[in-house]
Amino acid sequence: MSFLLRGSPRAGANFCTFLRTPLSRFYATNAKYTKYVPVSGSYPKGFNVGGIHCGVKKDGKSLDLALVTSELPCTAAAVFTKNVFKAAPVIVSRAMLDARNGQGVRGLIANSGCANAVTGKGGMEDAEAMGKTVDQLVGEKKAATIVMSTGVIGQRLPIQKILSGIPTAFEQLGQSHEAWLSVAKAICTTDTFPKFMSRSFTLPGSSTEYRIAGMAKGAGMIHPNMATLLGFMATDAPVSSESLQGILTHAVERSFNAISVDGDMSTNDTVAILANGAAGGEMITPNSNLENSLRALITEFAEDLSKLVVRDGEGATKFVTVRVQDAKSFEDAKQVASTIARSPLVKTALYGRDANWGRILCATGYSGVADVVPEKTNVSFIPTDASKELKLLVNGEPENVDEERASQILAMEDLEIRVSLGTGGGQEAVYYTCDFSHEYVTINGDYRT
């Protein structure tokens, strides 16, 4: 993903998912997917949420409209796609946050099934109308709602269905686990399961219990700088707008901007966070110990949430961690990891269980990072069952690889590729990706047919 701070075709998903993908892909009931969907949670105070079917999706039942409101004004922060063709809701939301300086925000409205991207003046008016309808329901005269959309690019929203559905959704808002889960489901498109988490936490020196909940959607068109991805988090901790934007930026750089499924960047990518302070306690401000602690917590939370997106990559059979070590800088390590993670040759080799480490080394070499020491470079596969790593390249010299052992590691659902650049700089970055399978081609070849 590549996000800008605050401020086909497909975007964040697909307009008519059921036409392009077998029904079995959605909300699968087998253990592979259900183990990632929580059955209970701990949710932030003061937020009322819900998801309904309003008619954007054509099957007549799938949830396609998500609404989140706060009983108290929130501080808010967001990062957006860097795609030049930004969707209308991206432009509208960024303008609202800039105008409010990240303060006094009251909620979020999101639809799935249509991206409202590259839709001209009419698309802008539709996005503004979605936000204004929520603003009126929560008693705000000035724009105070984040707007998100996800689906096929270039098609206008069925805006009257959405505007009629918003009051219905508002009447049905709740604070239960089921209500939060319905929001996560309502932003899904080609996802096989709703990506959703919550946690309780305390901060150093405070006995106040805070809560955070978050959700994301995305299965294809996922690449750094957020692609085809929507993400949202809410907390009842009191956080200043300056701190919240800095925290989110740091967290996204190490989570949603550190994942890749297929290397495509969407027009709609947005990750946002709301903090309403309903739990009370000391205000979290810049350069404080509380800010440092919250930054670490939200970064870990965002990392775990973003991993679910990769696990649900279209056609994916493996979750792969690419860890690059001993770089001169974090930026260098991340650039190399990103290049490896998005290499089609690496990803197809992973699917084929082929220990072709030359492809990993090749991607490292063309990453654009100059500070690499070939004669000190190391490449290994790290199994997730705590067994011994399989060394492929040691100090620039190839190992006599046990192909049977390599195949066993590559057959695992989770594995790690570890590369050391040998610079002596000691910096590290991690990237999350998946393999390319036949199913990915089938899914995207049939996207609109």
Residues classed as catalytic: 228
The pairing of strands 378-383 and 230-235 is unpaired
Pair 106, 312: CB distance under 8 Å: no
What are the b/e assignments for 322-346, b being 16+ CB within 10 Å? bbbbbbbeeebbbbbbbbbbbbeeb
Which residue has 């049977």 as its token pair? Answer: 404
In this structure, the number of other CB atoms found within 10 A of the CB of residue 425 comes to: 16
State the pairing for strand pair 414-420/319-327.
parallel
Please, are residues 131 and 88 in contact by the beta-carbon 8 Å criterion?
A: no
d(CA 420, CA 372): 9
DSSP code at position 283:
P
Using CA atoms, how far apart are residues 382 and 335, in angstroms rounded to an integer? Answer: 20
The count of C-alpha atoms lying within 13 angstroms of the C-alpha of 339, restricted to the half-sphere facing its C-beta, is: 19
DSSP state string for 386-402: SPPPEEEEETTEE----
| CA geometry: angle 34, 221, 97, nearest 5 deg | 95
Cα(207)–Cα(408) distance, rounded to whole angstroms?
A: 47
Amino acid at 110: A
CB 447 within 8 A of CB 396: no
Give the CA radius of gyration of the chain.
22
How far out from the chain centre does Cα 76 lie?
Answer: 17
- Starting from the edge strand earliest in sequence, which strands make up the sheet with 378-383, in order? 259-260, 427-434, 319-327, 414-420, 378-383, 390-394, 397-398
* Single-letter amino acid, residue 434: C
Contact status, residue 190 vs residue 21, Cβ threshold 8 Å:
yes
Tokens describing residue 125: 């008016």
According to DSSP, the residues that pair with 110 across neighbouring strands are 66, 148
